Every structure is written in structure tokens, then in C-alpha cells.
Amino acid sequence: MGRLKDKVAVITGAGRKRGLGEAIARRFAEEGATVVLTDIGKPSGEYLTADNIGTSAEMEEVAVAIRTVTGGRVIAMTCDVCAEADVARVVVDIVKTYGRLDIVVNNAGVGYIMKPLIEYAVEEWDLVMNVNLRGPFLFLKHAAPAMMAGIKAGTQPSGRFINIASQAAKSGAPALIAYSSSKHGMIGLTRTAALELAPHGITVNAVCPNHVTTGLGEKQNAYRGKVIGATTTAEILAFRKGRIPMGRVGQPSDTANACLFLASDESAYITGDSINVTGGEEMH
């Protein structure tokens, strides 16, 4: 307990129940951080429908539930990670309200547009790239100066960026051309930002989970099930487990614990890295 005492963290795309963002937020709150949950809040277009996003109402429920369980300071703010003005506003609001911003978790992602690459529409490619890559870039661009200022002024000791990439950042993933490309790009983003920000006392790392049955994971299961001829979730998960040396699929808490380590003082000398959380399925 208390590994993130006094720290202020923002987590993007954290407004969905059972999502990785929710689990990371809960773990951080348990360890004493002030947590700002953000999500897009309002459905729009063909893909960002209410069943694919964290709506304002769901995000508020997530914040209340974590506050109730942990007794921590957890608040919700809407933020479209693709909109530079939104990202800049959230960073300014956090620093104005809490006096510092120690940790950014770039967790928002779109991973359910699955089809062969020859059928992929350019608008679909752009949506995935914008949420998964432009969003994390915008948070780096706007939060890094706030962290640098806090470190220089002595109001915070360090800064941490944690980018939720994927196993699909290390290996190709059929039917996920834009997703896998964006997540591979996130590794480049992580490494380059790590080099630039290390002299300022800020670390930048990525976490690469394999399948987790979140809302997004369920959509991927539905597609993969059709490909392998499985009809039930149990059959699909049995197929997945068969490829995982540790014999089980990942849980949101597995990713949350990796994020906690990267957010904590214990990871002070680790930067530019991309840690697999895959039960041994991915090893490079």
C-alpha cells in the first residue's frame, strides 16, 4: 500500500467497466494515487458507438465504484485523445487542481475493426491510427512540459508515461492491419520519447498484453471464433489458452500490476522498454 502516495495520474480510455483502464485506475488508487479517469464520453460515427466506448455515465460509475472500494481520490473527465485542445485542457486542469501530474497512462485504443487488409477502408485506418498513435503523441507533447516544470520547481520528483501497446506491437496480427501497425508505431513513439525525456527525469515505457476479455477483447473473440470455427467464448478461450505457456489468458489485473511497477519509484532506471504481459506467449 502507498506505493503511489502523493502521485497524480491520468489514464485515458478508462471509462469502461471490465476494461484495462478501469483495472489500472483501481490499482493506482489502491496504492494512494489521485486518479483522473478520462474517456471520450459521447458516442459518434459508425465505430465509436455506445457499446464500444466509455460513455460519460459509465465513466462516472467507474469512478464512483473505485472511490467506494479504495476510498481514494478518483475523478472523471471527458477527453477525446485525438483532439489536441481536449488533451491540452485536461493537462492544464489537472495541474491547476492538483498542482502536479506525475503519471500518464495512454490506454485509449480502438482494436475491434477486424477485416482483411484489402477490405480496410482508409477512414477505418485513420480512426485506429488517430486513437492509438496520435492520442499518445498528444499526451506526450502536452504532459511532458507540465512534468518538466514540476520536476524543475521541486513539486514532483519524476514523470512517468506508460503506453498500453499490445502483443500486436511485437508480432503481426491477422485482420488487424491498422491496429498492429499503430501498436508497432507505439513502440517507436515510446523509444524516441524515452530518449528525449530521460535527461529531464521522465521515463517512457510500453506494456504489451496478449488477449484479455474486456469489451474490446470480446469483439476480437467474436471475429476469431468465426475464423477458427468456435461458437462459444469457452471454446475460443480454450484455443487461446492452448498457445499460452502459463495455461491461462491474461486478466486486467495482470496489466494493472505491470503498470503499477512502471509508475512506481521502483522502476526509476527503466525507460524505453516494452514489457510483455503474455504468460510467455510473446518473448521478444
Ligand X SMILES: NC(=O)c1ccc[n+]([C@@H]2O[C@H](COP(=O)([O-])OP(=O)(O)OC[C@H]3O[C@@H](n4cnc5c(N)ncnc54)[C@H](O)[C@@H]3O)[C@@H](O)[C@H]2O)c1
Catalytic positions are 179
Which of 4, 11, 12, 144 forms a contact with ligand X (CB under 6 A)?
12
Supply 139's cell numbers.
499526451
**CA–CA distance, 171 with 34 (Å, rounded to integer):** 35
Amino acid at 32: G
Residue 127 beta carbon to ligand X: minimum distance, rounded to whole angstroms: 8
Supply 96's cell numbers.
491547476
In the complex, residue closest to ligand X by CB: 109
- Using CB under 6 A as the binding rule, the residues of this chain from 20 to 49 that contact ligand X are 20-21, 39-40, 48
Residue 6 beta carbon to ligand X: minimum distance, rounded to whole angstroms: 26
- Using CB under 6 A as the binding rule, the residues of this chain from 203 to 242 that contact ligand X are 209, 211-212, 214-217
Site string for ligand X, 147-166 (x = CB under 6 A): -----------------x-x
Q: Does 10 bind ligand X (CB under 6 A)?
A: no
Amino acid at 121: A
Q: Tell me whether residue 50 or residue 92 sits nearer to ligand X (CB atom).
A: 50
- Using CB under 6 A as the binding rule, the residues of this chain from 87 to 126 that contact ligand X are 107-111
For the beta carbon of residue 218, count every other beta carbon within 10 angstroms.
14
**Residue 37 contacts residue 73 (beta carbons within 8 Å):** no
Nearest Cα to Cα of residue 129 among 204, 55, 171, 180: 180
Residue 40 beta carbon to ligand X: minimum distance, rounded to whole angstroms: 4
Which of 19, 136, 159, 279 forms a contact with ligand X (CB under 6 A)?
19
Q: Does 16 bind ligand X (CB under 6 A)?
A: yes
Which of 4, 9, 13, 159 forms a contact with ligand X (CB under 6 A)?
13
Which residues lie near ligand X (CB under 6 A)? Answer: 12-13, 15-16, 19-21, 39-40, 48, 53-54, 79-82, 107-111, 131, 164, 166, 209, 211-212, 214-217
